Amino acid sequence: MANEMKSTFFKRILGAAVLAAVFHCFDATQPANAAELKTPIDRHAVVERHRIQTDKLDLLLPVGNGNFCFNVDGTGLQTFKGDVLSHWGWFSEPLPSKYTWDDVPVTGTYYQGRLKGGDPFPADRHDLYLWIRNSPHQANLARTRFLRADGTPIKPEEIKDVKRDLDPWTGIHLTSFTLDGQPFEVATCVSDDVALDSTVGVKIDSPLVRSGAVVVEIAFPYPNLKHGAWSGEFSDAAPQTPFTIVRPETQTDVSSILVKRELKNEYARGIVGDYSYGIRVDAFGGAVEQIGDTSSLLVKGNADAKALELSITFDGGDYYARPCDNSAASAEHVDFATIENASKARWEAFWLSGGAIDLSGSTDPRWKELERRIVLSQFQLRTNAAGSWPCSESGLLNICPWSGRFHMEMVWWHLIHWHAWDRAELGEQATKIYPTVQAGAAQLARQLDYKGFKWQKEIAPDGRTAPWVGNLVLLWKQPHPIYFAEMDYRRDPSQATLDKWSEIVEETAVHMADYATRDENGVYHLDPAMPPSEVGITKDDIFDLAYWRWGLDMANVWRERQGKERCALWDEIRANLAPIPQKDGHFIRSASWSDDFETRNWEHPDLIGIYGVIPPVPEVDKSVALETVERVLKEWQWERCWGWDFPMTAMAASRLGRPDLAVDALMLNSTCNVYGVSGANFGGPAVGGGKGEYLPGNGGLLYAVAGMCVGYDETASAKETPKSGDTAPGFPEGFSVKWENLKRPL
């Protein structure tokens, strides 16, 4: 009987996906350029090869829409672990009592005047340092789990026979398992993000739920940075987190309930904000009730219902603009089928649009794992990095060691791939971080006696940078908006695009020019400077010397496009910047350091990023660049790197005409280059130590393989990007590559 139930359940859920695959073969909405290929890519077949199937109970898998993510364990809920995270859900602890807002630097730093070195925080204010670094931080919104009817938690060892299936084509997570010998079948998915509201749909088919022996608890934590199976504090000792119960229909409508949470606090100087959000729960085939005075709800099944269907709507508002308006209270009941259909439609539209790569004709045995990484990187980034803000380094999968705050130098790695994969619209909202925080960037520059916009480093939506010794001298974040602007202009070379980016490009370059200092010989220096590898503070690091040249060049191109004269000062500085440092036929990080391959051959290999991440400038010698890439691959400590170092190396190798080294770099055997079952790169730190999910590795991979397929400007026979192809210059012999709708990287 249990097997019959399981079979029926899975057929019912998977039926629509199978039909979608069949109709896809005849779908007139397939990309028109697919005809340029001898055989169009069967996009569903590519994705289907890499659906996520596992029997691991404790593995978290994400279901989300780019702005909101519900992370599930093997029960289809968060019975043993997992957070609910969003790009709008932020919280700040109270300011330490001995301080006032006058003690908090508006920009995040006390430094005054032009920089001479790092930015140490006053030693006697360590508690304030910690508060500024962690406030605001990402907040876990809720925990949804199975409990026994008497409130006893279920133990992991009581769950048996786990079989899980997450289909990237539909975004639906299915799981089956047994508890006390009785079957459970659970489907979980997430609706689209509409005005910052997102709905989780859960369908539970189990005799234990229908009988009331097992219930569903929805609990709301005090959203501090206490880390464990769930983030936040759920204990009775946690600070009070009151909520208001409002039934959206009548007080007797026990199938629906609305919770409004209000967490009163001050979030920024001069702003007193009541951070509030609403959660509406609709139980089809069940009832919802509040549990005493605690911050939790209980959902009980109905013996007469075939299944318990839950829809949980999170109404977040906008952290700094729109408070929760309780729109969830007046919303129509949303059943599971509606959420399921929204998930299917969103994901199918995603996979049928933008770029695609098919490696299945390859003879190189590495093809399938590389294709898996490509497919699931798209899945992870659509789930985590297509929302209203740039995501943290672990996205919405968990709260990263930087409290869920994002790094402005890493925005490039999270978002630039959307352009290369012809899905720029998915990064559009997050890229607006630049106009959103430009006032703070201008204020930071003025405080330090510089002109223009000096972009912040590690921030949350309030725009205040977090203190850190290298915060002000880590320079490579500065030219990034010029890169985004140029990719945007390639997509849409219109006056509207020029207007959109004009001030940001101009003021970014103004600061770049003002940061450079001229010596008595007329040479301009970047001093002080911390290279991307963050292995120390020096001057004239190689990455920034190359990036400054490219950025000032491009900023003047933007002036010309707008009918303005070139800025002569920018041209002068660019022509007289300190030379690109090299030694013994290879590049080095800085002329002040000469030990890159002896004692600094770890962390990011900045010395090859200048011919991969950055479009090559004339001063970067190609033969020296190739020698450097070859030596880095042989001698670098790849166990002391990060997830994006491997695609960065591939970009350089591909660009230098060594496709063999490009694939070797992408597939290099290192604990920093692991892509887990879910497709997330595990090349970053985890809270508590070890390796954690690290989405810059995924974004870097996608940008690298786009260039490997399409080529780059300096290697292309024509500026116009071809729309498809069955050859790829950046892949070596043994790889048969078909691709569609990719855009040439800069």
On average, the pLDDT of the chain sits at 89
Higher pLDDT, 340 or 276: 340
Evaluate the CA torsion angle 421, 425, 429, 433 in order and state its sign: positive
Distance CA 23, CA 316 (A): 37
- Return the HEC string of 290-339: ECCCCCEEEEEECCCCCCEEEEEEEECCCCCCCCCCCHHHHCCCCCHHHH
Q: Is the pLDDT of residue 272 over 50?
A: no
Model pLDDT for residues 690-711, shown as the tens digit of each residue: 999 999 999 999 999 999 999 9
| Domain 65-93+135-343 = CATH 2.70.98 | yes
Q: Is the pLDDT of residue 380 over 80?
A: yes
3 state SS of 197: strand
Model pLDDT for residues 677-688, shown as the tens digit of each residue: 999 999 999 998
How do the domains of the chain map onto residue ranges?
31-56+353-407+419-431+674-746, 65-93+135-343
3 state SS of 530: strand
Distance CA 351, CA 170 (A): 10
Half-sphere exposure of 717 (CA within 13 A, CB side): 2
- What pLDDT is recorded for position 10? 37
Distance CA 559, CA 416 (A): 23
Distance CA 505, CA 486 (A): 10
Query: How many percent of the chain have pLDDT more than 70?
Result: 87
Q: Is the pLDDT of residue 130 over 70?
A: yes
Model pLDDT for residues 469-484, shown as the tens digit of each residue: 999 999 999 999 999 9
Model pLDDT for residues 281-305, shown as the tens digit of each residue: 999 999 998 876 667 899 999 999 9
For tokens 């208001």, what's the residue? 244
Query: How many percent of the chain have pLDDT more than 90?
Result: 77
Are 675 and 375 within 8 A, CB to CB?
no
Instruction: State the angle between helix axes of 495-515 and 480-491 in degrees (0 to 180), rounded to the nearest 10.
Output: 160
Distance CA 161, CA 164 (A): 10
CA angle 485, 486, 491 (to 5 degrees): 95
3 state SS of 367: helix
- What pLDDT is recorded for position 243? 59
Average of pLDDT values for 44-49?
A: 98
pLDDT band at 564 (very low <50, low <70, confident <90, very high): very high
Model pLDDT for residues 225-261, shown as the tens digit of each residue: 999 999 999 876 666 655 566 655 554 567 888 887 7
- What pLDDT is recorded for position 594? 81
Are 467 and 119 within 8 A, CB to CB?
yes
